[in-house]
Amino acid sequence: MTLEEARTALSAVFPQGMPKLAGVTGWPLTYTRSPILHNYWCARYGIDGLYLRLPLSPGYFERGVRALQALGFAGLNVTIPHKEAAFALVDRHGQSALRAGAVNTMVFQADGKITGECTDGSGYIDSLCEAGVALPRKTLVLGAGGASRAVCAALLDAGCTLALANRTRSRADAIVTALGGGDVIAWEDWPAYLAQADLLVNTTSLGMKGEDEYDWSPVLAKADARLVVSDIVYMPLETPLLAAARARGLQGIDGLGMLIHQARPGFAAWFGLCPEADSALRDRLVETLD
């Protein structure tokens, strides 16, 4: 299908005029809840907008983005495995993207340029604030993939002391070097370090659906009662880590708040209004996770 044929097809779908269009792309997009939250905001604020799920395999990422830009989309969210490809593609990088080395929010500008931001880190910090967690804190982050660098950058910028542990140490070393701060802890040593931490952040796949179970209880038994435990995944919402933390009497923070808060800047850029992260939206998303 040519771009002109695609434009004609869209005009047939929207005979009263095109809504503002945005979407999320990744490969695959099995678990994303982004269309639910963005379309909820469009309905709540009476915005003539539509946010779509747009899977693009790695070989078609750039062509797909260029086609969506030509079709009049306002921009895209980008998730695994395209965040680094998006960083390479955009014309203008925000400070958050430069710090994270990745882009999760693309805005198509009127001059044909694409700007890129990474809102994962700010979304994570906002989720802590929403949960009443005061910063700075002495923080231990597990994992050096995906969103870890963005989270680490935001924690450092918030004044936190950072220790990072990853199975492959070289990846943790690379993040600490790129960010200019933090210490690397050997993977086998992080349980002992936990006794002096105020905040534990799990960015690994431990506890995600389809992954091997991990017994967090013996590790958390060494933690101080002041420790706050967070897991950036939201599938499942109550991960084994969070369940073990609550059983130990520790405060646990799930990944749904980060998902909601990282979405707000993109929605503001595409649809012209900064949305509220309210309890009704969270309840709506929780319904879809059951």
**Beta-bridge partner residues of 105:** 77, 117
* Cα of 4 vs its chain's centroid, Å: 34
Active-site annotation holds for 113:
no
Inter-residue contact 265 to 122 (CB < 8 Å): yes
Inter-residue contact 56 to 82 (CB < 8 Å): yes
Tracing tokens 């009263």 back to the chain, one arrives at 16
Tracing tokens 């910028």 back to the chain, one arrives at 157
DSSP 236: S
State how far the Cα of 266 lies from the Cα of 287, in Å rounded to an integer.
Answer: 23
Alpha-carbon dihedral angle through residues 108, 112, 117, 123, given to the nearest 10 degrees: -10
Inter-residue contact 198 to 225 (CB < 8 Å): no
Catalytic residue among 83, 113, 138, 209: 83
Annotated active-site positions, please? 83
